[in-house]
Structure 1
Amino acid sequence: MLASLRLRILSVVAVGLVLASIIGSVQAHRSAQDLAQNLQDQNLRAMAFGFFSSVTASQGSWVTPEEVSDFIPPDVDQYFYRLIGPKGSYISGYNFVQVPVPDEAEPGIANFATWTDGSGATYRGVSISAYVDQFEAPGWVTLQVAQSTRGAQGLVAEQMRSYYFTAAMICFGVLVSAVIILSTIFRPLSRLTQSVARRSAEDLSPIQQPVPIEVRPLKERLNSLFQTVRTEQDAKDRLISNVAHQLRTPLTTIRLRAELAKNASEPRLHLEALDREAKRAGTLAGQLMQLESDARTVALEEVDLGGLVTSLIEDHSMPFEHAGVKLRLELEPGIPPVIGSPALIEEILSNLLDNSLQHAQAKAVVVSVDGPVLRVSDDGCGVDEESLGWVFERFFTAHAGTHSRLADEDRSEAEYQTGSELDERAGGRVVAGSGLGLSIVREYANRMGAEALAENREGLSVTIAFRPA
C-alpha cells in the first residue's frame, strides 16, 4: 500500500488509463479490421462486376487470359482470378483461386470468403455467377477474384500505430493534468501542514489560515483538538498549581511538628498532629485527583433516587452514630426516577454527609428526597450570607465564628491555614478542611445535568435538583 495519497490517486488514474487503453485497442483493432475488409470487399466486387460488364463475344469464343489480365491491373497485392464456364468447366485463370461458396448462393449475388492456400497464404475473394449469352455456348459463368490479405493487414497495422500514438499522447496528457490538478488540490493541505509544523509546542491557538470549503472540516477538527488539548493542559497546570499550593500548608506543618517533636519532652501531641496533617494531605491529593479526573462524560440512566439514597444512608449511618450526630431520612411518596449516574450520586451524597459531619459541627443532619430533588440539611454553624455564594468554589473553607475553639495542639496548624489562601470575606476561626467537598458536589451535578444550590436555614442546606426521567 502506497503511503502517499497523491501517488495512490495517480496509480488509480494510471491503472484506469491502462485498462481503458487495452479495451480501446481491442475495439480499435476490430474496427480497423472491419474497415480494411470492407474496403477490400468493395474493390473485389468492383473488379468482378467490371469484368462481367466488359465480357463480350469474340469470334464465338470466350475472352482469353491475356485479355482478362489486361483488365485486372497488377497491384502490390496482386489480384488473381479464375473463370469457370457452364457445368464447372475451367476457362482460364489461376487454379489455386478456390473461393468457398455456400450451397444456397444465388446467381448474381457476390459471395465473399477468406481462405488459406496450401502454402499458408491468406486470401480474400469474391465469387459471382452470371448468365452469358455466348453465340456458341450460352450459359452460367462464375468469376472468382482473389487478393492477398497482406494489404488489408498493413492497413490495420497502420491504423493501430496511429491509435497507439494517439492513446499514448492522451494518457500522457491525462497524467500530466492529474499531477497538476492534484498539486492544486493538495496545496491547501500542504500549507496547512506547514502552518501546523511551524508552530511551537506551546502554541495551541486556533488556525486562522483561510482554506477551501473541502478542507474546512479538517481545520475545524484541528482547532477543536487544539482547544481540547489546551483545556486539558490548563486543567493539568491548574491541578499541579493547586496541589503544590494546597499541600504547602500541611507539609509545612508536618515539618514544624517534626522539628518540635525532636525537642519535646512529650512528643505524642506533636506526633498525633503530624499524623492528622499527613492524612489531610493524602485526602487533599485524592480529592484533587478526583475532581480533575477525566470523567466529564458519564453514562446516564434512569435512577431510583429514593431507593439509592435509602441504601446509601444505611451505609453512612455508623460514623454519625459514633459522632453522636442524628441522621434522619425523609422520603416523599411516589418519587419518580431521575436521569443520573448512581456512582456520581453516591459521591455527591458522601461528600455532603462528610461535610455536615466533619465541618458543620451539627447535632442533626436531615436527608430528604422530594420528587427529583435531593436535599441535605444540618443544624450546624452554617455559612454567613456574604460567603454563601462561594461555597462551591475550590478551596473555599467556611468559618465557624464563635461556635468552636481549636485545641492548643492544633494552634500551629490553624496559624498556617490562616496564612494560606483562605477566603477573607468571612470572619472568625478556621474549621479544618480541604475546601473541595462541595466543589466536587457541584462538578458531579453538572456532569449529570443537575443543579446544585446552597442556602442557610438552621444551618447549611444543599439542594441537588435532578432532571426527571
Structure 2
Amino acid sequence: MKPDWRQRPAQSAGSLRLRLFVIIIVPLVAVAMMSGTMRYWQAQTMSQTLYDDALKVVAHAVAREVIITQGDVVSDALLESLVSVLGDPIFYNVSAADGRILAGYTDMPVNVIPDDLTSGAPHFFDFDYNGKAVRAVALREFIADPFFDGWTTVLVWQTTTQRRALSLVILRQALAILILVVVTAAGFVWFSIGRGLRPLTELREAISLRSPSELGPIRRPVPTEVKPLVATMNTLFARLQTELERRNAFIANAAHQIRNPVAAIRAQAEAALSTADADQRHARILDLHEAAGDLSRLSQQLLSLETAEHSATTEMAPTDFGLIVADMARRFAPLALAAGTDINLTAPEHHLQVHGNAILLREAIENLLDNALRYGTRKGGEINLRLETDGGQVLLFVEDDGPGIPTADFEQVFERFVRLSQPHGADQTRSGCGLGLAIVRSIAVAHGGRAYLKHVQNGCCVAIALPLITDATAQ
C-alpha cells in the first residue's frame, strides 16, 4: 500500500534566513582564511627581506670596522648598537683568502661558506649555530692591504627569533582586521537578510488571514522571484473557493432532496403503527418499503456522483466496455421483462478496450437503463442498446420509445437535481431525484469522454463516447 502523503508530517527544511546567512558567510570566512594564509606568507617574506637587508648592512659595517682596526674585533659599542636595532644577537667572522680567521667568532660550523660565493654579491642562507636556527649573509670583497692579502670573506649571522616575532605580529594584526571585517559583515548580512525576507513574512501573514470563508487572491506587492509562487497560490485559492462553493451547493441540494423521502418514510411508518386494520397496515408497509428503496437509491446516486467527479486516474485500468454493457443488459433483463419491456443489444464481436474504472462504468450504464425503464418505456415497448466504434472512440447508444425529451432541454437534463415534468398520460408514480444523467456525464468526463443526447424521430437516445485503447495509446 502506498503511503498517503496527507498523513505524513511536513518535514522542515530549516530556517531560510539561516540558510542564506550560512551560504553567504561560509565563503566569506573561507576567503578570510585564505587571505590570512597569504598575509602570513607575505609577512614572513617581508620580515625576511627587511632583516636580510639589515644583515647585509651589518656585514658591510663589520667589514669596514675590521679594515679600519686592521683585524681587531668589532667594538662592543657598535655591536650593542646593531643588536638594539635588530633585536637578536649578531655573530661575525672575517677570514682571509688563505682561510685565516682575521676577526670574529671561530666556533661556526665547518664548510658553512659556499664555495661558489660570487664577489661583491651578498649570499643569504640558513644554518644551525649552537642548536639554534640562524640566518647568515656572506660577502666576498677584494681588499688591497697586505694584512688582508686580497680577497676577504665576511660572514655575519643572527638568530631568527625577532624575524618570527615580526611575522606573528603582522599576522595577528591582519587576522584581527579580518575577524573584525567578517564579524561586521556577518552582522550586516544577518540584518540585510531579515530586511530582504520581510516580503515573505508579510506574505505569510497574508496567507494566515485566509480561511474557508475568505479565499480571495493575494494582491500585495511581492518580489519578482516570489510572483510565480503567489500566482500559484492565488490559482489554488480560486480552485478551493470554487470547490467549496460546489460542495456547499451539493450539500444543500442533497439535504433538500433527502428531507422529503425521510419525511415520507416517517409519515408512512407512523401511519402503519396507528392503523388497526391488517390490510391497511400491509399497504402502508409496502409504501414504506418503496419509500425506503427510493431513499436508498438517492443515497447511492449521491455517492456515485461524488465518486465520479473525484475519481483518481490511478484506479483506472484497461477494461472491456462491451462486456460491461452486456453484463448490465443481462442484469436489467428481469426488471424489463416484469415491466413488459424488451432489452436489445447490438455490439461488434471484437473487444472494445477502454482505460477506465469498471465500477464507475457499470454505474453509468445502470443509470441509463434505470432512466429508460422509469421514463422512456411503455408496456410492450423496447430499449435498444447499440455499441459502435468511430474515430478511435466507442459509442454506446441507449434508445427507448417513450415520450422523449424536448430539444431545448438536452443540456439541462444533465444538471444535478433537474427533473422534467412528466408528459400527460405518463406514469406519475415513477419518480426520481434528477441525478441519473448528471452521474452519467460526470463518469464519461472522468474517463476522457462525453455524454450527450442524440436527436431521434421517436423516443429518447442517450449516447456515451469513450476513447478506445489503441496500440499508440497502449504504449
Same fold flag (TM > 0.5): yes
Matched, 1:64 2:72: yes
**For residues 344 and 37 of structure 2, what CA distance do their matches in structure 1 show?**
93
Q: CA deviation at 1:203?
A: 0.9
**For residues 97 and 76 of structure 2, what CA distance do their matches in structure 1 show?**
18
Matched, 1:391 2:413: yes
Q: In the alignment, what sits opposite 1:227?
A: 238
CA contact (8 A) 1:99 1:144 kept: no
Q: Residue type of the partner of 1:366?
A: N
382-391 or 182-191: which moved more? 382-391
Q: 1:69 to 1:98 in 2, by over 3 A?
A: farther
Q: Which runs of 5+ in 2 are unaligned?
A: 1-11, 471-475
Q: In the alignment, what sits opposite 1:356?
A: 372
185-194 or 444-453: which moved more? 444-453
Q: 1:75 to 1:66 in 2, by over 3 A?
A: closer
Q: In the alignment, what sits opposite 1:250?
A: 261
Matched, 1:162 2:170: no
Q: 1:249 to 1:95 in 2, by over 3 A?
A: same
Q: In the alignment, what sits opposite 1:434?
A: 433
CA contact (8 A) 1:356 1:378 kept: yes
Aligned runs of 1:287-326 on 2, under 5 Å? 287-293=301-307, 295=310, 297-299=312-314, 305-306=321-322, 308-310=324-326, 312-314=328-330, 316-326=332-342
**For residues 285 and 111 of structure 2, what CA distance do their matches in structure 1 show?**
124
What whole-Å deviation, never above 9, does each CA across 1:124-163 have from its counterpart, x for those lacking one? 2112344545425625432211223233223213322321
Aligned residue-pair number: 442
Aligned runs of 1:311-460 on 2, under 5 Å? 312-314=328-330, 316-331=332-347, 341-362=357-378, 363-371=381-389, 372=393, 373-405=395-427, 429=428, 431-455=430-454, 457=456, 458-460=458-460
Q: Residue type of the partner of 2:175?
A: Y
**For residues 207 and 348 of structure 2, what CA distance do their matches in structure 1 show?**
58
Q: In the alignment, what sits opposite 2:125?
A: 113
Q: Residue type of the partner of 2:42?
A: S
14-23 or 213-222: which moved more? 14-23
Q: 1:69 to 1:124 in 2, by over 3 A?
A: farther
Q: CA deviation at 1:200?
A: 4.8
RMSD: 3.3
Q: Which runs of 5+ in 1 are unaligned?
A: 406-428
Output the TM-score relative to the length of structure 2.
0.81
Q: 1:256 to 1:341 in 2, by over 3 A?
A: closer
**For residues 404 and 146 of structure 1, what CA distance do their matches in structure 2 show?**
128
- Match for 2:137 among 114, 126, 138? 126
174-183 or 213-222: which moved more? 174-183
2:74 is paired with a residue of what secondary structure? helix
Q: CA deviation at 1:303?
A: 5.9
Q: CA deviation at 1:177?
A: 2.8
What whole-Å deviation, never above 9, does each CA across 1:98-141 have from its counterpart, x for those lacking one? 597375543435332334443x6543211234454542562543
What whole-Å deviation, never above 9, does each CA across 1:297-319 have from its counterpart, x for those lacking one? 53567765445534554455454
1:401 is paired with a residue of what secondary structure? coil
Q: CA deviation at 1:276?
A: 1.6
1:286 is paired with a residue of what secondary structure? helix
Q: In the alignment, what sits opposite 1:207?
A: 218
45-54 or 360-369: which moved more? 45-54
CA contact (8 A) 1:97 1:145 kept: no
**For residues 243 and 100 of structure 2, what CA distance do their matches in structure 1 show?**
107
Q: In the alignment, what sits opposite 1:419?
A: none
**For residues 406 and 299 of structure 2, what CA distance do their matches in structure 1 show?**
28
Matched, 1:142 2:153: yes
**For residues 107 and 292 of structure 2, what CA distance do their matches in structure 1 show?**
119
Q: 1:263 to 1:442 in 2, by over 3 A?
A: same
**For residues 115 and 350 of structure 2, what CA distance do their matches in structure 1 show?**
102
CA contact (8 A) 1:400 1:431 kept: no
Q: In the alignment, what sits opposite 1:465?
A: 465
CA contact (8 A) 2:79 2:90 kept: no
Q: CA deviation at 1:341?
A: 5.0
Output the TM-score relative to the length of structure 1.
0.82
Q: In the alignment, what sits opposite 1:195?
A: 206
**For residues 272 and 102 of structure 1, what CA distance do their matches in structure 2 show?**
130
Q: In the alignment, what sits opposite 1:279?
A: 293
